[in-house]
Amino acid sequence: MSQIEEKILAIIKKTKGVKEVTRASTWEELGVDSLDVAEFFMEVENELGVTIPDTEAQGLKTVGEVVDYVEKKKGGGAAGSLTH
């Protein structure tokens, strides 16, 4: 598991208070609404230093899709690092 994936899972657990999150988890399965999702993306942007346009965020339906998107933006791939 990459550092980016660990951080994203931690953000979800912290903001939603859920204990079990996987890459396959969807927002619906996690019980989040559109406001929760917007807050989550703002937190990811702040914590990881990436910009996720609303048009892109709307297409990210699973935790794994978010992880892959952020890793691609950070240029790190599966072994991505949080350092700039």
Domains of the chain: 3-77 (1.10.1200.10)
Q: Which of 33, 36, 54, 68 is catalytic?
A: 33
Q: Decide if 33 is catalytic.
A: yes
pLDDT, residue 18, reads: 85
Please check the confidence at residue 80 and state whether its pLDDT lies above 70: no
Across 3-24, average pLDDT = 91
Other Cβ atoms within 10 Å of 50 Cβ, number: 16
Query: Sign of torsion, CA 44 35 12 58?
Result: negative
Q: How confident is the model at residue 76 (pLDDT cuts 50, 70, 90)?
A: low
What's the pTM value of the predicted model, to 2 decimals? 0.84
pLDDT given for residue 77 in this prediction: 52
